[in-house]
Each structure stands twice: as C-alpha cells, then as structure tokens.
Structure 1
Amino acid sequence: MTDTLVETIPGRDAGTIREDGDGWIIGFERRLRHSPERVWKALTTPEGLACWLAEAEIDTVPGGKMELHFRQPDNDFMPDVPEKRRQSNEVLTVRPYSLFEHTFGSNPDSIVSWRLEPDGDGTHLVLAHRVPSTWESGRKNVLAGWQHHMEGLEDAIHGVRHPWSWDRWFALRDAYAERLENPNAGDDKPYSNDWRTA
C-alpha cells in the first residue's frame, strides 16, 4: 500500500485532520463546475443524496430528521443489516446555497458542516466534520468514507448514481491509516492544513 500512498490520496483531494478540543476536525475541499444551487440539491435532497451518499429521508429545517440508509454492496466490514446501514441524524443549520449542517453517525457529537461559496462559474465546497474523541480508532474509516463518497458528487449533480467500490474504500482506509501513524511522511503532508469551521 505504501507504494501507492500518494496516488491513493493525492494532496489536492486528500482529507485533512486536526485536533479540536476532545475530538478532531476532518476536512475536505472541492471546486465543482456547477452553481451552488445545483451542488445544494446534491447535498440536501433525497434524489441527490441517493446518488452519492445514501438513500435519505430528510426534512431540511433546523431540528428536522435526516434518516440515511447506506446501500453499498454487502461486505463483511459492513454487512447489510439495519444496525450497520441505517443512521438517524438531525439537521442543525440550513442557509440555502451557502451552509448546511447536520449530525452524522447517529451521534449528536458528530457534526458535519457543508459550506458553499460561488467560485466563478462553479462552487467552492468545504466539508468540515467534527469527529468526537470516542471515534479515534475510526478516523481512518471516516476519512476514507468521505473521500470515496465525495468522488460521486459530480455524478450526483447530473442525477447519476455513483458506484461504490469496497476495494477503493479499503485502499483509501489503509493509506489514511498509514498517514495517521506517520503524519509527516511524504511531500504533500495533507494533515498539516489548518481547517477552520467558523
């Protein structure tokens, strides 16, 4: 895996992680060639979410429910059983086309923030996920999961379901595990970025 580490998590697409009190902030940044309105639909509607993240029932108002049902192929790591595939989350903040925040992983201490800004003819998108200290051993999984899911955003904006690959996810997970153990290895140092959620 170390031979393909840089290839697997290239600097510009790699997630970042930094300590934040008793937890961590995981971050990803993307520039998408679509308007904030189109990106917003991929992030906040059942049709959009089903293409890249999970089947969803969502009420996009603060305090609304965000029920996710992950439909990746069955795998020993994540068998197709409700306790592994379903999440009950809560919508926290809704500012159309600029900010969407919700809990994640059926855990009120796990908070995801999506920030959208117009960028020429596209959108600058920033994901910041506050991961609680109880998730320390799972940080590599969260990093790999968000990266692989976000690879499907472009398809989702076009209304196309992006395929999930467990081989891809395991390769990303192993690469992130290596980086978490050796944060200063390599030239791109994706964990040195300072993510701000304010």
Structure 2
Amino acid sequence: MTDGHTLGADAGTWREADGGWELRFERRLRHSPERVWAALTTPEGLRGWLAAAEIEPRAGGAMILTFEQPETEDFPCRDDVRRQANEILTWRPPELFEHSFGHPDSVVSWRLRPDGGGTHLTLTHRVPAEWERDLSRTLSGWHHHMEGLDDAIRGRRHGWDWPRWRGLRAAYAAEVRQ
C-alpha cells in the first residue's frame, strides 16, 4: 500500500516518498526523553533491545551494530548480515537522532518529544525503492524491536522471538500487498 495503511494500533505505517518508501512507528513511553535517548544512543541501551553497538556520539560518527539473534534461515550467521556499519547524520540530544541503516539511502530518524511525564517517540525509516519487496521484513523487524524498547529502558533485556517476528511479517505482508 502506498498511502500509509496500518496494521493495528502499534503497527507501523508505510507510504511511497521521495522515490522510495517511508516507514513510521510512534510510541508513547512513560520514561523521560533522557532515558529514552540513552536507550537509543548508548551501547548499553541499544544492546537491550536492538543490537550490540559501538557508537561515536556525534554527527559524522560511526555506529556499528552487531545483531545477535540466533541463526535461522531468515537470519544466517554471515558477517554482512550480522554486522552493520552506519553513520550518525544528526545528533541533537535528547530530541533528534538520525543515522544510516545498512545502506546509504536507508536513513532512520528518532524524534523524541516530552509528553507529560513521558516521551512521544517517532521512528521514521526512509528506505530505497528497491526495498519494496522486503517492506514486510523491515516493518516486522522494527515492530518487534519497538516492542522491547520499553522493557529495555526499565533494565529488562528484550530477547528475539522468531515465531513472533514471523507472525508479524506475515501480517505486514498481507497488508502491504493489498
């Protein structure tokens, strides 16, 4: 779908944008922007919900992610799949963090806005047009990771659940094709 259809209340949206695709997730978290920022931008925070990370906290800095999900047919133990070199594009604590994501034309943007005693978080991932065949994979991956973000902020590591991810991927695939 090209006009931002959704899959449930916490699901991402997608639309064609600027010759590619824009994927978007929004969450209201009960933690301060500073705590959410730490989960998004520090090795300790990122490891709890996304991947092991090496990060240079500045625009132009490197962000190396090493994904630790167990090997399956969906996720082989190859260095080009597991280890991802990215560049930090924008660094404005604690409100805006942007970085490449595995491809120069793939850019992830994290916007944090105070919301009462918590944070309104918006994740936008701009992906190149050729990723259209994998939109359901990317959407389900972010959806699954975002489910663990709140736990990680509270100090509980979010494990990867392949059956959960496959279910999300199938649901997104059905919606993306409509």
Q: TM-score range with shorter-chain normalisation?
A: over 0.9
Q: Which residue of 1 aligns with 2:96?
A: 99
Give the alignment's Cα RMSD to 1 decimal.
Answer: 1.0
Q: Which residue of 2 aligns with 1:157?
A: 153
User: Does the 8 A contact of 1:47 with 1:159 survive in 2?
Assistant: no
What is the aligned residue count?
Answer: 173
Q: Which residue of 2 aligns with 1:175?
A: 171
Q: Which residue of 1 aligns with 2:3?
A: none
Q: Which residue of 1 aligns with 2:33?
A: 36
What is the identity percentage for the equivalent residue pairs of Structure 1 and Structure 2?
61
CA distance in 1, matches of 2:27, 2:53: 23
User: Does the 8 A contact of 2:7 with 2:13 survive in 1?
Assistant: no
What letter matches 1:133 in structure 2? Answer: A
Q: SS where residue 48 of structure 2 aligns?
A: helix
Find the partner of 2:76 among 60, 75, 79: 79
- The runs of 4+ residues in structure 1 deviating greater than 6 Å are none
Q: Deviations over 1:127-162 (max 9, x none)?
A: 000011121111110000000001111111122210
User: Does the 8 A contact of 1:65 with 1:91 survive in 2?
Assistant: yes
Question: After superposition, where does 1:1-198 map in structure 2 within 5 Å?
Answer: 11-105=8-102, 107-182=103-178
CA distance in 2, matches of 1:61, 1:16: 29
Query: TM-score when scaled to structure 2?
Result: 0.95
CA distance in 2, matches of 1:35, 1:68: 25
Q: Deviations over 1:84-141 (max 9, x none)?
A: 1110000000110100000002x11000000000000000000000011121111110
Structure 2: where are the runs of 5+ without partners? 1-5
CA distance in 2, matches of 1:16, 1:179: 10
What letter matches 1:47 in structure 2? Answer: E
CA distance in 2, matches of 1:96, 1:16: 26
Q: Which has the higher contact order (CA 8 A, sep 6+)?
A: 1
Give 1:10 shift: 5.4
Give 1:21 shift: 2.1
Query: TM-score when scaled to structure 1?
Result: 0.85
